[in-house]
Amino acid sequence: MIDREGPTPLYVQVADAIQARIDAGELLPNRPIPSENQLVQEYAVARGTARKAIQLLRDRGLVATVVGRGTYVATTANG
């Protein structure tokens, strides 16, 4: 799932993986995506990598983060 030796940065791969789960309807609008700690475990990456992946998804407009609550699939993403 994650190619550690390939040219694509890990955080991009993680972001793409999450986006695939959103596109597949596994992660629904206004529902939380896995927490940073969960992403760390699921993809076996460092916390900073998970955060950069979420940041990338934010920049893509696919998710929105609420401090103290979590990161959620944007309403506009597969609304």
> Alpha helices, DSSP H only, in 8-46?
10-23, 36-43
Residue type, 63: V
- Answer yes or no whether residue 3 interacts with a copy of itself by CB under 8 A: yes
Q: Is 66 in the site for a copy of itself (CB under 8 A)?
A: yes
Beta bridge partners of 15: none
| Residue of 16, 17, 42, 65 that binds DNA (CB under 7 A) | 65
Angle at the Cα of 38 (from 47 to 44), degrees rounded to 5?
60
Q: Which of 16, 17, 21, 32 binds a copy of itself (CB under 8 A)?
A: 32
Residue (41 or 75) nearer to DNA, CB = 41
Q: Should residue 19 be labelled a site residue for DNA when binding is judged by CB under 7 A?
A: no
Pairwise CA distance, residues 63 & 21, whole Å: 12
By the criterion CB under 8 A, which residues form the site for a copy of itself? 3, 5-9, 30-32, 64, 66, 68-70, 72
